[in-house]
Amino acid sequence: MGRRGLFAGSLALGALAGGRWASVPAAAAALRRTAVPGTVPRLVPMRPHADQITDIKVCLRPFRAAGPRLDVERVGEKVVIHNYGHGGSGWSLSWGSAEMAVGKAAALSPRRVAVVGCGVIGLTTALTAQRAGLDVTIYTRDLLPHTRSVRANGSWTPDSRVALTAPAGPQFADTWERMARYSWKSYRDYLGLPGNPIDFRDSYVLSDTPFDAPESEPENPGHKGDYASTGMPQQSSEFASYGERIRDIIPAAELLSAQENPFSVPYARRAPLMIFNFGAYGHLLLSEFYQAGGRIVIREFHTPADMKTLPEPVIINCPGYAARDLWGDRSLIPVRGQTAWLPPQPDAAYGVRYKGASALSKSDGLMIQGFDMSGLGEMDGVGNSFEHADRSEAEKAIGIFENLFARFPAVQG
């Protein structure tokens, strides 16, 4: 999750309107509510300690400046429809992106399709194709539990490093909105199910300074221009921000008064955040796919020409970041991210974001991610393809919450 993920699920916080780093006091004030006395939820403190780490996962966000690749090309006799490059938003946009890719496939009226890849994009694409009445086989090197997808954070972050404003242009903004709305609606069908594959958490954003204090563009000391002149993003301000477009369906955040704020940090706001519990949700998607007659073939492709050997006439290509090598797509830029996992803490079912790190209590563990601990904003991890765990980074992120909860609660009796 990028810095903008700080505001995920709370796009109506107003922090992004009127300029990426500008603040919007009027919007924030308008959202302010006073809780009915006695209704402020009492939070059980999280227990984040470095000696509780069970796993550290590293992932490369498949970022493309122009946004996800969804075009169609021919490889010999085969029609290949691409569906990859969703940056830090693949979980969030998966159903909407699948709907678009499958729409292109269905227009060709095939009886059966192949889907390459079984990450969240491949799996939702395969299910969407089945729902359109197609006979689907997934060809993949790895099943979902071993893909990069499950090394993510797993929150609703639909415009987290998904494109750069200028290269993507206004047309992608419309595409994004359609994807985001379709996905949001699709996820509603998975709420309230056994195991809570999809759930909501109260997410607290904490700050030592007022939310309406002017925020400056984060420093990127090495920056040398912009994407147009270098082929790499250089500044946070180049990253696209589309959240305002779906403000009408995303629960708004509320500023907490001193009496409502249980944290020993002066400023706090809270918003419901949609989350994806990887274990339960992944298992459900795979079961649904098999129950609908889907087949999975474990297979690795080495070049686009390998697609010619598949029996299906239409192929939807969902290899994620691996398209950089498989398809020679150099427009894919790695954006490294890391999450540390601690034992689940179901009694503390909420999320907190503070000092560039995020702690989120999910059914499959207490997840802690330092998404911007160096103050680089959206540039954090950009161009970094080091896909190995960095324990010191994990411990630093955990330390932020260890300190926070050592001073907890601030006001509760």
Q: Which is closer to ligand FAD, CB of 255 or CB of 376?
A: 376
Residue 148 Cβ vs ligand FAD, minimum distance, rounded to whole Å: 4
State the Cα–Cα distance between residues 93 and 405, nearest whole angstrom: 33
Q: Which is closer to ligand FAD, CB of 147 or CB of 165?
A: 147
The three-class DSSP label of residue 303 is coil
Spell out a b/e string for 295-328, using b for 16 or more CB atoms within 10 Å of the CB, else e: ebeeeebeebeebeebebebbbbbbbbbbbebbe
Residue 140 Cβ vs ligand FAD, minimum distance, rounded to whole Å: 4
Let me know: does 246 contact 11? Beta carbons within 8 Å.
yes
Residue 367 Cβ vs ligand FAD, minimum distance, rounded to whole Å: 9
Residue 326 Cβ vs ligand FAD, minimum distance, rounded to whole Å: 4
The dihedral through the CA atoms of 131, 134, 135, 136 has a sign that is negative
State the Cα–Cα distance between residues 117 and 317, nearest whole angstrom: 7
The β-bridge partners of 271 are 203
State the Cα–Cα distance between residues 314 and 322, nearest whole angstrom: 20
Q: Which is closer to ligand FAD, CB of 67 or CB of 87?
A: 87
Residue 275 Cβ vs ligand FAD, minimum distance, rounded to whole Å: 8
Q: Which is closer to ligand FAD, CB of 96 or CB of 154?
A: 154
Nearest to 24 by CA among 38, 37, 10, 35: 10
**Distance from CA of residue 315 to its chain's centroid?**
25
Residue 82 Cβ vs ligand FAD, minimum distance, rounded to whole Å: 11
Residue 377 Cβ vs ligand FAD, minimum distance, rounded to whole Å: 16
Residue 80 Cβ vs ligand FAD, minimum distance, rounded to whole Å: 13
Who contacts 292 (Cβ-Cβ below 8 Å, separation ≥6)? 127, 130
Residue 97 Cβ vs ligand FAD, minimum distance, rounded to whole Å: 9
Q: Which is closer to ligand FAD, CB of 31 or CB of 324?
A: 324
Q: List residues near ligand FAD by CB under 6 A.
A: 1, 59, 61-62, 84, 86-92, 116-122, 140-142, 147-149, 152-155, 157, 300-301, 318-322, 326, 337, 339
Cα atoms in the Cβ-side hemisphere of radius 13 Å centred on 406: 7
359: amino acid identity, one letter: A
For residue 230, which phi and psi values (nearest 5 degrees)?
-120, -15
Quick one: DSSP state of residue 88? Answer: G
Let me know: does 110 contact 134? Beta carbons within 8 Å.
yes
Cis peptide before 304 (omega within 30 of 0): no
